[in-house]
Structure 1
């Protein structure tokens, strides 16, 4: 099968790079900041999003764990295959300068594939399933980094909240527990299409350059999101986002490839990260003149 190897690369990209999108606030709040939150605690969805986003702006760097499960139905050259992958990664992220590193593994067909990637200076370095390194010049954008590190879901909420209110939609709701504000985003069907399109653009912006670099036969417009569900946990005391649960259904179809999949991921904030992120010299050397 000519495209099977490349399809496995596509699934690897989906498992590693899609599905992480939310806000993380990494700094510990100062005592007076905690006091302020307690005295003037937000109560509405709009207030929580605004205040939590303000806390996010203080972020210098953060550490995350990412665990996930993906199920794919693939048809290539009239042959079909079901593929299940498991993702387990650690990620570091800095905001100024904008940089990201990730390391872990993707398990597929009882094989464990090492995952390692860096985004520094606008360039992305990614280790491929066969062990070779690929460099993608100038494709590392702010939105890509935030999507990878769960750093823009609250921005998503802010962007679409006005439109949702106009439509009297229940696509975004909030509940409270003793410790958390929990924001739920649930998008599916034609009534939520304009919001699904918004999330779809985020996925395409991140995945598109990798598809082109790998010469996979997939165009941006052939990537479709069918469903998105996010649950964002925000600590009530300091308004830091502690966890994101996300489920996404994606479909890619053209004359050569038919792929549909469901991805579930949990991204958990593990603490502040203040070190500099750099690309190891051996990785730079492996991608020179490529």
Structure 2
């Protein structure tokens, strides 16, 4: 017998969706929300590759007008994922975006620990100390995917990668790449044991980012948005690299700086035959 549409914002399933906007609930349940046609599609693709599980899908027929979006609902239903028709105004109480597209998924991403990462399988990662902006975390994940890097380490707290803003900014990459949350001391011990070379970013760096010859396995280490790397953290790096600043600005946005450096690393590795050249 088909389930009746959800028409009340006090429905228990809708309450759970709203609760997942809080980190405490995400940590307790291991769940997060993917919102919008593209992000739900990426979550379903990750589930098909056993990198995540889609626990439920909610859709508002009045809002979900594209054939692709409706196809996602059929795909989810055909694979046994519970799908819930929901009134548009009710789904809007959960949506983070203005003008929501009428589809949300509850996702259980695969959770990783440092012990799951190896230099053979993950030869090139980025790490960020205590990031505070979920948009930066998501954008860095998206750039890591774009350059063919292997994953992201979040050190010493800060925002989690499954914050709605981080999921949205990652454009679904958060469901494909490994993300590990750990502390700085454990990260350094793991990097040393795995033979990773740690390239720290700092205005005090002695070498410009394009003048550096990068060696894999490696980790690009970025400091917090406000403080950068501490003296103690910088001392743990194998090399400190810097972005030249030619104008009055003293720094770049964290995600922008990460993007510039990640592409420089890619180009250096590719030029020396350590990575395939990207297609034109």
Q: Give the structure-1-normalised TM-score.
A: 0.24
Q: Which of structures 1 and 2 has the larger relative contact order (alpha carbons within 8 angstroms, sep 6+)?
A: 1
Name the one with the larger helix percent.
2
Q: Give the structure-2-normalised TM-score.
A: 0.24
